[in-house]
Amino acid sequence: MQKILVTGALLFVGLMEIKAQKTHSNSNNQLGATPVFIEEVKKSGNEIVIPYKQYKLSNGLTILIHEDHSDPICYVDVTYHVGSAREQQGRSGFAHFFEHMMFQGSKNVADEQHFKIITESGGTLNGSTNTDRTNYFETVPSNQLEKMLWLEADRMGFLLDSVTQRKFEVQRATVKNERGQRYDNAPYGLVSEKIGEALYPQGHPYSWTTIGYIVDLDRVDVNDLKRFYMRWYGANNAVLTVAGDVNTEEVLVMAQKYFGNIDKGPEVKTQIVAPFKLESNSYISYEDNVKFPMLNIAYPSSPLYTKDDAALDVLAEVLSGSQGSPLYKAFIESKKAVSVNAYQYSRELSGQFQIAIRANSSSALADIEKDLKTALNEWEKKGVSDDDLIKFKTQFQSNLYNRLSTVQGKGASLASYYTLAKNPNNLKNEIERYTSLTKEDVMRVYTTYIKGKNTVILSCVPKGKSDAAAQSDTWKMYDRKIETESDEYKNLSYVEAKDNFNRSIMPKAKAATPVSVPDFYTTKLFGKIPLIGITENEIPKVNVLITFKLGHRFEEIGKAGIAQLLASMLEQSSQKTSAEEIENKLNRLGSSVNIYSGDEDFNISIQALKENLTATLKIVEESFFEPKFDPTEFELEKKKQLDGITQMQTNASALAEMAYRRVLYGPNHIMSLPSNGTSETVNSIGLEDVKEYFNRFNSGSISVAVSGQISKDQIITELKFLNKLLPGGPAPTDLNLENKIENTKIYFVDKKNAAQSEIRIGYMAMPFDATGEFYKCNIMNFSFAGAFNSRTNYLLREVKGWTYGTRGSFNGTKYPGAYTISGGFKSNTTDSTLKEFFAELKKYSENGITNDELTFTKNAMTQSDALKYESPLQKLGFIKRVLEYQLPKDYVAKQTAILNTITKAEINTLAKKYLPYKNMIVVVVGDKASNFEKVKKLGFDVVEIDVDGNEVK
């Protein structure tokens, strides 16, 4: 690595100014002071590094630029060093609330246009808030870069005039919906909030969650939020990161133009909090709508990016990260628990090490706590092994390659490192931090932070079973203070930048770089097994996906879930090697092998470092062709699957999916049941049933897709073991769908006291077709329910504030698939939501698309192609689709031609035909007491059912 540092200013003159004039000849902007060059990091040899150049504007804005011309896309990230840790007691949720407001338009960007502009540019976008920082990011075709910088600059410097009371109220409702969906209405959703309250002293900035408390959200007003913006959203508290197919000098010119005159903002000092210590163990508990009681133990630990933080990551992996780990053996193999997980949760100011155990419904958490102490004491006698460290470090390297395989992964890393580690080149330190760890380091942090240390012990128990808690509560939630607004929010002023160019004119995109569909090869292994592949050399890894057409659809209805159970068994012991040792071998190689079953496919997904592919495939060969099918392992895997089915009964979204499938397909179709089966069907499956299902696998039902650093000839040699498959043909399946929808009917599932209602609306539409009506219908649906700015999401989220989000799409394979609109909505708006949905369906079906919607759809879908083929896994998914549907190499070009030429009349015809609002199924999972009678008044047939689709009398 070469690193160039400059302490003073390096002025860009001459050629730079000429290029600026050429690039922005339509602008009269005077560039003013040029960006100051800070440093450059270059790659040297084979080292793992993210090359970049760093600059700073006169207003304090830091700029990081990473050039990567491998794909015609770029990533733009603006990270502000402010999160919920900068809030005050009684004023929680401001940082996250403001993240929502930043998408609501600014002085030169109309209301709700931020998402629309980026979507129409072919890009994706989002924002996120945590305790320590807030970031806004987009990945777009690289010809759209200037437009992205214009957008980000406008909301950095020109936001407040557009922050209205109406927008404020809508986003307040949206945030409350988000809290309801992710916290209040989710199983175990309040665990993190309650642990934070008890673990940290009152007033500590980590003692509340980023989402905030409802009472605080209700208390805040629009002026509070404006002051929060003026305090923390200055240029000096931000870093602009641009990564991808860009030119550094052009980025600097654009950054100076759009960001250079924005106000610096108040000084932001490093946040310092007093160290704290738990004086005793704190037992807390609460009742929740869960099936399995959970014990969650939290220890104060080391903050982010410290050596102890890294050692604690290793400790967590050693304790629970494998089938051979002590906690897995103590709780999962013994069948005392459903799941166990240890992890180090590190943040800027502090860390916390947690162990979470979901016990069996019959287990008392007091016993689980005792068993945990016993397991840790027994493990300590042996401690960390050399092999533990080898496995962790190899996996760390493999995962690092995955992170660096996209411009977003690299750009986001630079931004995070700069913000939280004060060094964008912190990747070097990260690698050193982990690769230098010793066994002694890991045992030291165990002794320092875990062994015999005071902790918070939280019991989350099913409702009505408070006696299952580990111990009576010894800690009680304090009365939260409502702090007076800090002096740092006084005497703030909104200084709008003064420009000598017209900022209201949105920059035009450059000419788009033609997007090349990845070149691929096809062949047949041994003249019978279809193989498709892409050779690429960006990272030294290989991805192999082996697919059998033997998923859920091919099961007998009385044995639903058998394919998923078989997948679990194939990850267990072979006839020669135990499951524990197989996992250890893979970890030493830095490889992953995941076997899983879906609705139609049974998959073996393999990721390996190039040099370890041969050894990895040897393990796959042994596991697949010589499975042990051990009865003890079978009973354990069967229990896990049954536990998962039981847990689904408390999740409103899962309940809605189960009921929707049941009604959509009818009771006699295998697809009416979830792919993991039901308690009844899985209980009926024996080990001999699994063996019989395994015997159906043959060379006539398999295909292989490969991407990565390997040639066609090499992979053919590596996969020669597949010739062991017996000959045969594809499995038969029932294509018939007996269930006909005579008229729209609402099926209501009661979930008592649910804060939200989960809604599914749809019908059985058609199979996949790359260039036929299926593809054209997704064009038709894009502006109605397929995009963030679609009619439905815009109305129900941005105008009404009733939901965190709703989407709809056509989903088909070789078999007919459903058109489904779904989302979670405020409970007291259930009937109103249904009324609005059907009003919009009727309007779109009868009146069709507008001219503006058609333009938006064509622009967005055409330009988004640039983002589809960047990562190795994206390429793998692309070629798998080509192989599965026997698509020609030019099918993407044909789709583009259809998209460019489709007319408004064609789309309107499709809408009329494929949005049959009079013949749809509606499933509502919500609180019957408050909603059932109101829903009945909408004029539809309404029937109450259970999750199995049976009418409730």
List, as one string, the DSSP characters of 393-414: HHHHHHHHHHHTTSHHHHHHHH
Q: What is the pLDDT of residue 161?
A: 81
pLDDT for the residue 953: 84
Find residue 438's DSSP bridge partners.
Answer: none
Instruction: Give just the sign of the alpha carbon dihedral 663, 665, 666, 668.
Output: negative
Please report the pLDDT score of residue 3 as a whole number.
Answer: 40
Distance separating alpha carbons of residues 947 and 953, to the nearest angstrom: 14
Residue % of the chain over a pLDDT of 70? 96
Q: pTM here? A: 0.91
Token pair for 220: 């805040």
Query: How are beta strands 521-525 and 529-535 bridged, if at all?
Result: antiparallel
The pLDDT value recorded for residue 9 is 33
pLDDT band per the 50, 70, 90 thresholds, residue 741? confident
Q: Which tokens go with 635?
A: 């009973």
At 830-847, the pLDDT tens digits run: 999 999 999 999 999 999
- Can you list the positions of beta strands (E) in 867-952? 921-926, 941-944
**Which bin fits 230, alpha (ψ -120 to 50), beta or left (φ > 0)?**
alpha
Q: Which two tokens stand for residue 414?
A: 């630079």
Dihedral over Cα of 369, 371, 374, 380: its sign: negative
Q: Taken in order 926, 929, 930, 932, is the CA torsion positive or negative?
A: positive
Measured CA to CA in angstroms, residue 409 lies from 77, 274, 306, 412, 607 at distances of 11, 34, 22, 5, 18
Residue with tokens 């859920």: 552
Q: What are phi and psi of 481, to 5 degrees?
A: -80, 150
pLDDT at 199: 98
Structure tokens that stand for 699 in this block: 């060379």
- Name the range with the highest mean pLDDT among 103-107, 644-648, 923-927: 923-927
**Number of alpha carbons in the 13 Å side-chain half-sphere of residue 596:** 9
Query: What are the φ and ψ backbone dihedral angles of 135, each rounded to 5 degrees?
Result: -130, 155
CA distance 584 to 817: 40
Percent pLDDT > 90 in the chain is 85
What is the reported pLDDT for 18?
Answer: 26
Nearest residue to 659 via CA among 553, 776, 757: 757
Query: pLDDT tens, 170-192?
Result: 899 989 989 988 898 889 999 99
> How is residue 181 written in tokens?
């969906």
pLDDT recorded at residue 513:
86
Spatial CB neighbours of 219, under 8 Å, sequence gap ≥ 6:
90, 91, 482
How is residue 156 written in tokens?
Answer: 């950095």
CA dist 718 and 132 (Å) reads: 47
- Give the pLDDT confidence score for residue 734 in this predicted structure: 67
Computed over every residue of the chain, the mean pLDDT equals 92
Q: What are phi and psi of 419, to 5 degrees?
A: -70, -45
Q: How far is CA 636 from the centre of its chain?
A: 29
Tokens of 314: 């290793």
- pLDDT of res. 735: 62
- Is residue 544 within a helix (H) or strand (E), and if so which, with residue range? strand 541-548
| pLDDT for residue 45 | 86
CA 925, CA 343: separation in Å to the nearest integer? 34
Check pLDDT > 90 for residue 112: no
Phi and psi at residue 122, to the nearest 5° = 85, 15
The one-letter amino acid at 207: S
Look at residue 267 in the predicted model and tell me its pLDDT: 95
DSSP 8-state secondary structure symbol assigned to residue 70 = S
Asked if residue 12 has pLDDT above 60, the reply is no
DSSP 436: T
Spatial distance between the Cα atoms of 680 and 560, rounded to a whole number of angstroms: 9
Q: How far apart are CA 767 and CA 764, in angstroms?
A: 9
* Residue scoring higher pLDDT (417 or 865): 417
pLDDT in tens, 462-476: 999 999 999 999 999
Cα–chain-centroid distance for residue 616? 28
Nearest-angstrom CA–CA distance, 137 and 75: 7
> Which pair of structure tokens corresponds to residue 454?
């005071």
Name the nearest CA neighbour of 809 among 827, 782, 829: 782
Q: Euclidean distance between the first and final Cα of the chain, in Å?
A: 72
Distance CA(672)–CA(676), nearest Å, equals 12
Please report which confidence band the pLDDT of residue 24 belongs to, taking 50, 70 and 90 as the band edges: very low
Q: Are the beta carbons of 450 and 376 closer than 8 angstroms?
A: yes
pLDDT bin (cut points 50, 70, 90) of residue 654 is very high
User: How far from 577 is each of 605, 628, 629, CA to CA, in Å?
Assistant: 20, 9, 12
Angle at 315 between CA 310 and CA 319, to 5 degrees: 155
Query: Residue 73 pLDDT more than 80?
Result: yes
Phi and psi at residue 53, to the nearest 5°: -125, 140
Mean pLDDT over 366-374 rounds to: 97
Which tens digit of pLDDT belongs to each residue from 83-104? Answer: 999 999 999 999 999 999 999 8
pLDDT at residue 26 is higher than 70 = no
Residue 528 CA to residue 523 CA, distance in Å, equals 9
Cα(215)–Cα(479) distance, rounded to whole angstroms?
13
Residue 733 has a pLDDT of 74
Residues 6+ apart with CB under 8 A from 651: 186, 187
| pLDDT band at residue 30 using 50, 70 and 90 as cut-offs | very low
For residue 55, what is the enclosing H or E element?
A: strand 52-56
What span, in angstroms and rounded, lies between the C-alpha atoms of 143 and 513?
A: 7
What stretch of H or E contains 346? strand 337-346
Residue 330 CA to residue 346 CA, distance in Å, equals 26
Give the rounded distance of the alpha carbon of 371 from its chain centre.
34
**Given this model, what pLDDT does residue 7 score?**
33
- The amino acid present at 461, given as its one-letter code, is V
* Confidence at residue 361, expressed as pLDDT on a 0 to 100 scale: 79
For the stretch 587-598, what's the b/e string if a residue is b when 16 or more beta carbons lie within 10 angstroms of its beta carbon? bbbbbbbebbbe
| CB contact at 8 A, 165 and 801 | no
For 201, the 3-state DSSP assignment is coil
Closest residue by Cα to residue 260 from 230, 240, 280? 240
In the block, tokens 């709700």 appear at: 112
- The yes-or-no verdict on residue 15 having pLDDT over 70 is no
pLDDT tops 90 at residue 29: no
Residue 291 CB neighbour total at 10 angstroms? 17
Tell me the residue length of the chain.
953
Q: Is the pLDDT of residue 46 over 50?
A: yes
pLDDT at 184: 87
Q: Closest by alpha carbon to 311, among 131, 448, 130? A: 448
pLDDT band at 927 (very low <50, low <70, confident <90, very high): very high
- pLDDT one-digit tens code per residue, 217-257: 998 899 999 999 999 999 999 999 999 999 999 999 999 99
State the pLDDT confidence band at 336, using cuts at 50, 70 and 90.
Answer: very high
